[in-house]
Structure 1
């Protein structure tokens, strides 16, 4: 799409703005246009034609034709792990990595920190750990576990954006899974205040009796978590959502075999959304080297034949969004050479956009589609109406992205606390040149990220 920007706002005659960014290429209104983006007090006030007269301003930034102005990405699936496991990751390092990757908002998962975010006091401990240390905006999911059912409304009032649960062992003793009947109970609870329940869809019953993974071979790890594990869990989620009318979201879809069920449920009116992750779109089981536990994650990276249907499901709207599932740990917990002992999680926060874009461009997928999956849709899931688009009234969270610039991933260039990644040595395309948070360039020396909570009108009527 080319032409004039959509959704322009009037600039008050004689009014001054803080910043004007002129971009020969900008993703606006679902297409790519030439635009001048005007910012005042951290908010986009107008999106004008590229060569339109601009109001009086303190600063003008001119972007070259090799750069595309994108809305800041929103990553709604990040394990920051602080407090409690700040030696794995932390708010300072995670948000620096996020900003370097064009991510201006992240939502932290409720487990792998101590305490887990399952009660209001745990949320306060997490907010205290994050306060004054974040380079980008941060929101928080709450957890739904057997021990806090009946108390989810109180946790929502405390400020979580929604809830996350597991249907099988999470690997965290303080975050046990829900049985199917408890899943229904949790959905009834969140339905009462129109919240959303995110589900790690692996079935405990389907996992029971599977041969455990061990040793350096990836094939054994993959066999320990076959497609059936996801299929049974997704069926359980769909039935619970159908029965209760609740909003359900399936995290990190890895198996293409669940896509028909998700599509059919949505067509039938079930309130269901789903995500996948960069590693499922870019990596394949066949390429995992012997003993390379940096590839270990749950659910696992599957065979190459599985990958293209995930891309088709994104383009067709069966899958809604792409988020990192950034799940780091101390390097020794990856147990190099032993997939049976390795912590299941991939650190990829800084690389999400270039990984997805590298694969997207090979398939003829345009940048506005990638933006929809990685900014607009995650913002909608998390209930953050000020995020996710370059449009008047939205936060001026932006990034300058050079889509044709190639680079080789080197550990020393990563800002995660531990630069352990399956992408090391891989050639990617798309470099983030600059990131703005509410109209100010992100400065690692001056953390300006805010801690987000549900808008007040979303909390009205929650008892």
Structure 2
């Protein structure tokens, strides 16, 4: 048999663990794994490289369309190019910060239309759960093919912008869960106590606080833990499958573990930046590293690594949430936009920090970047190197340190807290359904072969 592509001599991460073998691709899917596979139109020699499933980044914000308000934020062209360069072959797109937010059938179609001819990676969509779409919007999103839903328990959205996203109150969360449960899909939740964090932030600001360290103090650990508990209680009551987004403290992870052991269908994620940065370095970096929940102290970070390595955190995401530079360039941290640009540096940073520095197994690495998020959101063709799956790969060169420069970023606005950082591994190639969408030698492909994944 003649194949379209064979990847030879790489250390391939399979379900059974890593093995030096070859992988053959035909018509965009994996059709053979082994040695002496035969001939192919294209052969990639992966000697010295780790061949991992392409990353399924389960938490990415693309602001397309911008609706006249956010037109200069991250669009599909630059966002998916950044994915390609970073080893992300598919991602789950949040229902905000695009305008209009993705909260019903019409806004979902607007988003799909905005992505036509602009995708370099595959995209699964979240639909929003907001107080104003409980009379049919959730059902329209289900019919339109969203892979899952998302809501905010923290304050979000700009009320001066018609069609912007909005956080849920307790009733909206409860009723939204009841409706999502009937679809069988997962509700992903940003869990922070809005009333307390908003008031603590207001008090700190009025008291003249300006630093990121003060911002972190205004969002203490318990303001994550309490809403996680509340969401779990509502999930028990409604039967809704839930996922807790971007947990930043081990105490929050412990609540998920406890609930899961009691039979609740709940999973959780953390983000690369919570495993990499700590509070004491934030003010030296500046508002480019501001996010919510906030980046906590070193002891907290160590606790998060313990939870991750122990298997209590299901996957790691970027929560790529970029904006324009002016919204980050603030002397007062409380006035800066909260969001980190990170989708291009998930794979390399996690490989370096997890596998190379902390001894994470390659199998666990592949699980947390690909297999687990694909499984949670029922992306049946994604996440694993096995027969019949989409031929999505990232080829990683271990022990290959480099220092990230701003000009190397594919983002529309080239700002990132990882600029200037020495990263100890490199993405060498990214392959989507058998097509090379990035190589270190030639850069990001000019082709737009990405597709929306509709469920």
CA distance in 2, matches of 1:195, 1:109: 15
Show CA shifts across 1:191-242 (max 9, x none). 1121110000011233253143545422210111111210111011110111
Secondary structure of the 2:195 match is helix
CA distance in 2, matches of 1:429, 1:291: 20
Check whether the contact 1:101–1:432 (CA below 8 A) recurs between aligned residues: yes
User: Which residues in structure 2 correspond to 1:330-345 (within 5 Å)?
Assistant: 330-345=324-339
Structure 1 residue 190 corresponds to structure 2 residue 180: yes
Larger mean Cα displacement after TM superposition, 255-264 or 409-418: 255-264
Check whether the contact 2:56–2:369 (CA below 8 A) recurs between aligned residues: yes
Q: 2:383 aligns with which of 384, 388, 393?
A: 388
What do you get for the CA RMSD once the two structures are aligned? Answer: 1.4
Q: Tell me by how many angstroms 1:373 deviates.
A: 0.3
**2:366 alignment partner in structure 1:** 371
Show CA shifts across 1:342-371 (max 9, x none). 000000110111221221121111232111
Q: Tell me by how many angstroms 1:24 deviates.
A: 3.4
Secondary structure of the 1:288 match is helix
Check whether the contact 2:249–2:303 (CA below 8 A) recurs between aligned residues: no
Secondary structure of the 2:200 match is coil
**1:451 alignment partner in structure 2:** 452
Secondary structure of the 2:57 match is strand
Q: Tell me by how many angstroms 1:286 deviates.
A: 0.9
Secondary structure of the 1:70 match is strand
Secondary structure of the 1:147 match is coil
Q: Tell me by how many angstroms 1:150 deviates.
A: 3.6
User: Which residues in structure 2 correspond to 1:5-84 (within 5 Å)?
Assistant: 15-48=1-34, 52-65=35-48, 67-84=49-66
Q: Tell me by how many angstroms 1:265 deviates.
A: 0.4
Q: 2:91 aligns with which of 97, 106, 111?
A: 106
Check whether the contact 1:111–1:172 (CA below 8 A) recurs between aligned residues: no
**1:5 alignment partner in structure 2:** none
Show CA shifts across 1:28-60 (max 9, x none). 114110111111100101111xxx221342222
Structure 1 residue 412 corresponds to structure 2 residue 404: no
User: Which residues in structure 2 correspond to 1:58-457 (within 5 Å)?
Assistant: 58-65=41-48, 67-84=49-66, 85-151=70-136, 152-173=138-159, 174-212=164-202, 213-214=204-205, 216-290=210-284, 292-360=286-354, 361-442=356-437, 444-454=445-455
Secondary structure of the 2:398 match is strand
CA distance in 2, matches of 1:263, 1:435: 33
Check whether the contact 2:253–2:268 (CA below 8 A) recurs between aligned residues: no
Check whether the contact 1:216–1:292 (CA below 8 A) recurs between aligned residues: no
Question: Which 5+ residue runs of structure 2 have no aligned equivalent?
Answer: 438-443
Check whether the contact 2:391–2:432 (CA below 8 A) recurs between aligned residues: yes
**1:460 alignment partner in structure 2:** none
**1:459 alignment partner in structure 2:** none
Check whether the contact 1:291–1:338 (CA below 8 A) recurs between aligned residues: no
Secondary structure of the 1:148 match is coil
The alignment's TM-score, normalised by the length of structure 2, stands at 0.93
The alignment's TM-score, normalised by the length of structure 1, stands at 0.91
CA distance in 2, matches of 1:279, 1:258: 17
CA distance in 2, matches of 1:211, 1:98: 33
Secondary structure of the 1:113 match is coil
Q: Tell me by how many angstroms 1:260 deviates.
A: 2.1
Check whether the contact 1:326–1:347 (CA below 8 A) recurs between aligned residues: yes
**1:4 alignment partner in structure 2:** none
